[in-house]
Structure 1
Amino acid sequence: MRTREKLTIEEKVALALELIKRDRTLDEIRMYYRVSHTTAYKIRNAFLAGGRAALSSERERRAHDLEARVEALEELVTGGGEPPLMSRRAVMAR
């Protein structure tokens, strides 16, 4: 089966919820999202195991972790009350 580009996290959540609700058949859901039987069940099982966080990609988790680190460093550098030296976007672009 030729698949489409990667599903967004919102699409994965929707797919998992549709499989759980069982309003449509597995084949209807698979054809709509253009995923294999195995992929559909992997997404559902990941969602059941960890909810939305389990479906986020490694890249999304890394970006979130980096943002948290930047905020912590800005807090450390500025002493908490002053504006940051650089915006997060500028730091991330480096």
Structure 2
Amino acid sequence: MAEVNILVDHASLAKGSADMRDAIERVKGQLAKIRGDVSASQAFWAGPASGAFTVLMGEFDGKANKLQSVLDTIANLVDKSSANHQANEDEQKHNANSLLSVLHGG
């Protein structure tokens, strides 16, 4: 089996998180537009089809909210990973500098 190497850095993680948050905001905007269109159509649309569509839209909203929650959680986890990665890099840099200082008699 081939070995897979994954290389990450703080900047890549931060960009990934920002891209996810941008996507979340675009989806929220699209959903708000759909909700607005549906709300406007209810003023002149009545009957069983309208009721069925309202139920369907409610189910869609529930699933869309769950999706947004999952995306928010993923973005938060990427943020946390980015912060942990940066802290680890800073600690490793400090340790390396301390070792160099000892080796050079400082």
Same fold (TM over 0.5): no
Larger radius of gyration: 2
TM-score for both structures, normalised by structure 2:
0.35
TM-score for both structures, normalised by structure 1:
0.38
More helix by share: 2
